[in-house]
Amino acid sequence: MKKRLLMLAIVPLLCIGIFIYIWQTSTSPVITYFEEDKVMNYHKTSTYLKLLSEESRDSYEIGWKSHSVSERELYLRQDVSLLFHNGRLRGVKSKWKENASTIKLKEKVTGEDSNYYQAITYHHGEVHYPDDRITSIQQMSYDQLYVIDSPNTALRSFKKAESDFEYEWKRLLRHTTEQQLAYSWNQLMEHFQVDKSSYRAVPLTALKRFNQEALPSFTPVQTNQIIGQLWEGLYKNYIIPLVTSKSKSETLTSYTPVILFDKQKTHLMVLYEINGEKKRLIQKYPAF
């Protein structure tokens, strides 16, 4: 009898737990592009990398931050930031808030040896109006940091080279990064049989330029929509799987995705891999 009563008590609790899990999963926010808001904007958006300290003779600590403030509280605010070193993924941070204007992301990561760090953040907000009309605002921010950790010199860092010593290290680290990414991207293009001459290739870490720069033959408003829908696809197909993979394994291998803009201006393609699995995302342009 006691066992039966215990089961009768446990089953409803299990059902409630399953319901809560499903509800939370199904209502997790996603980045959704809506028509660009003509009035609302950001007061501030930033991404910041800094060498904090030397942890030991073999390692050091990097500070990785992003910060965004909209002009007023919005129905939904969401930021996602990605950190790469020498072209390889180092970390992903994502945060969302309801009825908020400010989002801050802050993380410390440990590094070893000399590295070229790059971080890009996508800042997104949904603006809801009383007539059920929904618009959105978006902005990208970026930072980079060169860290020199050599047996022959003291640990140091810089963002822009200002001396012959720094220019030489910048050249070396960028060359190493570009070689790694060229190899990775060529493998992806060969795998998916992509004709390189038909596309304009842009690394994910270079997307910030489209805050001000329009895509060829597109207006700034059209560019804003293409980039917003690109991040919507990236979040769903690249960022969420990254977080899922990271929770299952301590090791995660991914390199900076390459965005291929079709020269015929009909679509874009994103090529990337997660733990050796090659992926392709194709997005057609809207009918402007």
145 within 8 A of 49, measured Cβ to Cβ: yes
Between 152-161, 222-231, 261-270, the lowest mean confidence (pLDDT) is in 152-161
62 within 8 A of 51, measured Cβ to Cβ: yes
Rounded Cα–Cα distance for residues 206 and 120 (Å)? 8
Q: Residue 46: left if φ>0, alpha if ψ -120 to 50, beta else—which one? A: beta
Share the mean pLDDT of the chain: 89
Closest CA to 255 of 176, 195, 194: 176
53 within 8 A of 66, measured Cβ to Cβ: no
Determine the number of helices (DSSP H) and then strands (DSSP E) in the chain.
4, 10
Residues whose CB falls within 8 Å of the CB of residue 98, separated by 6 or more in sequence, listed in order: 75, 76, 77
Of residues 29 and 82, more confidence is placed in 82
Q: Residue 212: how many CB atoms within 10 A of its CB?
A: 8
Structure tokens that stand for 219 in this block: 């207006």
Q: Which residue has the tokens 């215990």?
A: 6
Mean pLDDT value of segment 85-107: 96
Rounded Cα–Cα distance for residues 84 and 68 (Å)? 20
Q: Residue 86: how many CB atoms within 10 A of its CB?
A: 21
121 within 8 A of 80, measured Cβ to Cβ: yes
User: Domains in the chain, please, with CATH?
Assistant: 42-162 (2.60.40), 181-284 (no CATH)
Q: How high is the pLDDT of residue 213?
A: 95
Closest CA to 204 of 50, 284, 55, 88: 88
Q: What are the tens digits of pLDDT across the range 68-78?
A: 999 999 999 99
Q: Where are the beta strands (DSSP E) in the chain?
A: 42-56, 59-85, 88-111, 115-128, 134-148, 156-158, 199-203, 258-262, 267-274, 277-284
Q: What are the tens digits of pLDDT across the range 185-221?
A: 999 999 999 999 999 999 999 999 999 999 999 999 9
Q: How high is the pLDDT of residue 246?
A: 54
pLDDT at residue 236 tops 80: yes
Q: What are the tens digits of pLDDT across the range 6-44?
A: 444 444 444 434 333 333 333 357 899 999 999 999 999
Q: What are the tens digits of pLDDT across the range 112-170?
A: 999 999 999 999 999 999 998 999 999 999 999 999 998 888 899 999 999 999 999 99
Rounded Cα–Cα distance for residues 284 and 230 (Å)? 10
Which residue type, as a one-letter code, is found at position 282? Answer: I
Query: Would you call 207 helix, strand, or coil by DSSP?
Result: helix
Which residue type, as a one-letter code, is found at position 82? Answer: L
Q: How high is the pLDDT of residue 36?
A: 94
